[in-house]
Structure 1
Amino acid sequence: MPTIVEHQRFVVHIDVLGMSALVAKDPELAWSLLGRLVEARKDAHATSLTFLDTAETVATPQHVHAVTFSDTIVLFTLGAALNDLRTILVMTTQLLSRALHLCVPVRIGIAVGTFFFNLDESMYAGPALIEAYHLGESAQWIGIVTSQEVYRRAMEAHLQSGASDIVSPTDIPFEGSARPGYAVNWPVILRNSIAAPLPVTAKQVYQGFAQYFGPFEALDPRVHQKYENTAAFMNANAA
């Protein structure tokens, strides 16, 4: 049995909204969209960060591994220290930013906990991955949901963008209802990269994705609601 590394890590699960239906409808178009997702991942991963409070510069690839399978990306840190938390939050937010600019709708979950990996054998498992998967997959929007523990650590470290907390309590939209949870405050962090003036409508949020998924008016009501939820979060947080 190959050697397995076990440690506490931050783990991120990312996938594309509507990908399964697109693959069934137009595999070639889905492949094109997947290429854009990979481009977003590469751009976000190939960075270095300088933390102003410590003047320390870290290269993202030294802290974060990225694995892609179909329309799913898994990111995980080598440990669970403060710099790992900072780096994973920055990379995840930058990946969301690049994905939106490349017209790729993604939903993301971030957790921390036990995670096993063996890069040589492409083996990955652990409770943190399962939690990140459920956090991201259950949310009915484009956004970044975190576990309570990720939120607690971000607050303990006083991680902020301007005067706003990077991770904040919020109502997370689920199928049929909203429940209290925690999310990265990406509309504040990315405020200067939001092209449309606020407040935005669901149709404005969606317009870049129409090339892949068709007219906004033709969307299934449940899909339509995801963009309504995204617009509501943007308007409430970036205004």
Structure 2
Amino acid sequence: MRKKLSFVLASVLVASLSFYSFASASEKEVLPASGGNNPDGYVYLNGAPIKENTVIYANEENQEELVEKYGLEKPSPDAKLVSIQIVNNEDDSIELPKEESKSINPQAIFGYRIVKGPTQSIDGWTEIARAKYFCNKPSTQQCKGIEITVSANESVSVEVQTSLSIGVQEVVAAEFGYSLGQSIGVSTSVMVPMDIQGGKTGIAVGYPIYNSTFCEVYEKGILNDKYLGGATFLKPKPSSIAVTSWTT
């Protein structure tokens, strides 16, 4: 739902059990989610929760407030936000991580130890679906009750966001049962209703939703394990999508 950014991890996050989401900025940045808890049935946009299967409608008064709060990227500079819609068609709830995992090779004296934090759902930053409708009526009229259907049918990669080496990223992905860069099919459709002013275009844009888990990574030693840094494992949800709609 936002620009692709470079990943940043602050050391202060290591000792925290905060939750994380992505923000629209010039860099990809992991931000603490507000509230300090992780209720089921919510997706975090820019650190702010939105309940699944709900719609937030914009108006002239709250336009810029919503764009800033949820870190939204406008499809054009003059675009007006119509709605934010979070759709979860998953059968299962958010996966809960193990309290603490073992090394990728439990038999080895040396290796890695991955300590997993809580899991939350966040929206993605890469567009996977888009639909448009142009209202060819005069500017004094509206195309009312238009239904724009956004259909996502894309392969979205599992990711590990961290400054640590590729080898460590592969270890983290394996701890969750995946290989680094492995693709998961995301397929779902969302119907977006809107009224469009004559001469304007209605645009609906879809983004993936990820299960996001922050981990602490340690290098195993004979006496003590050495802390290497943090990493966030991101797994796309196959039947969930976040949609923003706009007029421009």
| TM-score interval (norm. to shorter) | under 0.3
Question: TM-score, normalised on structure 1?
Answer: 0.22
Task: Give the greater-gyration-radius structure (CA).
Answer: 2
TM normalised by structure 2 equals: 0.22
Structure with greater proportional helix content:
1
